[in-house]
Amino acid sequence: MTTIAQFDTTLVTVGVDTHLDVHVAVALDQLGRRLGDLEIPTTQDGYDDLADWAESFGEVEAFGIEGTGCYGAGLARVLRARGLLVVEVLRPKRQTRRHKGKSDLIDAEAAARAVLSGEAAGAPKTGDDIAEIIRVLRIQRQTAVKARTQAINSMRALLVTAPIELRDQLRGLPKNKLIAAAARLRPGNDRDVLVGVKRSLRALARRCQHLDAEVAELDADLDELVRSAAPALVALFGFGTDTAGQLIVTAGDNPDRLRSDAAFSMLCGSSPQPAGSGKTNGRHRLNRGGDRQANAALYRVALVRMRWHQPTRDYVERRTKEGKSKPEIIRCLKRYIARQAYTALTSTQPAEAQAAA
C-alpha cells in the first residue's frame, strides 16, 4: 500500500502570473500538491494580502514571478522587503502552452512548478539603487533624443513645401544653424501660408532647443551617476558614459546574482552558441539572444578599440593572419570585453588597479 509522505512543516512555493491591474497566484506544497489560488489587485494592500495568504499555508520557500522587470516589479520589491525569496520565471514556451492551454491560473501554476523543480532559479534585479536611477534617466534621454530628431525632420519637411522666399532663406543650413534661424523668425499676425509656416518652424525650433537643454542636463547627471556607480568600468579603454551606463543597467543593482563572466556574456548576447551535431562537433554560431542594447554597447567598445587601442589592433592583425574574418574577430572581442566589464562591475578593487590590469 502506497501512502503520501507527511511532513511536520508545509513548505509553500507560490507562482504568480502578473498583469497591469491584477496578479494571479497559485500555491503548491513541497510535493507539488495545489494548496489554493488567489487574485489580488496591484496595490500595496494586495501585495500584503498575497504574502499573508501564502504564509497561512506554512513556511514560504519562494515566490516564482513572471515579469519581475515589468508588471511584477512592485510585487517583487514588497516581497523582498518582507525577507521572502523571489525567483524570476521565464514565460512558458509556446509549444508548452499549446499542449497545456493558456490561462492566468495555468501560467501561475506553471511558474510555481518551475521553481519547485529547480528549472527557474534566477534572482531578478532588485531595482532599488543607482542602476535603476540610471535606467530611468536613460529612458528619458532616449525619448528626448527621439523627439528632437522628429522635430528636426519635421522642420526639413516643412521647408520642402514652404513659400520660396522662406525656403531660399533656410534651405541648406546645417542643423544647428537651421534651428537657431528658425527660432528667431517673427511670423506676424496675418493669415497667410507664409505666416503659418513661420509659426510652425519657430515652434519646432524652440522645441529642439528645449530638448537640447534637457539632453545636456541628462548627460551631466548620467555622467556623474555612472562614474560613481562603476568607476572601474569607466576607467577601461573605450568605455564612456553611454556604453558603461547600458552595461550597469543590464547587470542591475545586484550584479552578484550573475555567477560568472560567462553568465554575464550570455546576458549580453555575446557568448558563442554551440551548433554541433552528429559528426560535426565544435561548431558555434552567433548568439542572437540576450540584451541587444548591451550587445550593441559591447560592439561600439570593440570598434573603438580596433581603431585606437594598440593591443587590440595587434590582436586583430594576428587573428586576421589566422584566417578569421572581421565579424568573427569582433565576436571574440565582445566576449573578451564582456569578461572585463563583469570583473569591473563585481570587483572591489580600486578602479586604477583594474584599469592597469
Better pLDDT: 154 or 256: 154
Least confident of 240-249, 270-279, 319-328: 270-279
Assigned CATH for 11-117: 3.30.420.40
**What is the pLDDT at residue 122?**
80
**What is the pLDDT at residue 3?**
41
Task: Return the number of other C-beta atoms located less than 10 Å from residue 172's C-beta.
Answer: 10
Better pLDDT: 324 or 146: 146
Beta bridge partners of 351: none
**What is the pLDDT at residue 303?**
95
Res. 1: pLDDT tops 60: no
* Strand, helix or coil for residue 253: coil
Res. 290: pLDDT tops 80: yes
Q: Name the residue ranges covered by the structural domains of the chain.
A: 11-117, 130-229, 233-272+286-356
Q: What percent of the chain has pLDDT over 70?
A: 90
> Residues 312-322: what's their mean pLDDT?
94
Q: What is this structure's pTM?
A: 0.83
Q: Which residue blocks in 67-163 are alpha helix, DSSP H? A: 73-81, 94-100, 104-117, 130-160
> Residues 309-332: what's their mean pLDDT?
93
Res. 150: pLDDT tops 70: yes
Digit-coded pLDDT (tens) for 47-99: 999 999 999 999 999 999 988 888 999 999 999 999 999 999 987 766 666 66
Contact 326, 313 (CB under 8 A): no
Name the one residue in this structure whose C-alpha cell is 519637411.
Answer: 157
Res. 312: pLDDT tops 60: yes
Cα separation, 287 vs 303, whole angstroms? 19
Q: Which residue blocks in the chain are alpha helix, DSSP H? A: 44-55, 73-81, 94-100, 104-117, 130-160, 164-170, 175-183, 193-229, 231-235, 241-251, 261-267, 292-308, 310-321, 326-346, 351-356
Average pLDDT in the chain: 88
Cα separation, 342 vs 32, whole angstroms? 37
Digit-coded pLDDT (tens) for 88-125: 998 776 666 666 667 889 999 999 999 998 888 788 88
**What is the pLDDT at residue 256?**
87
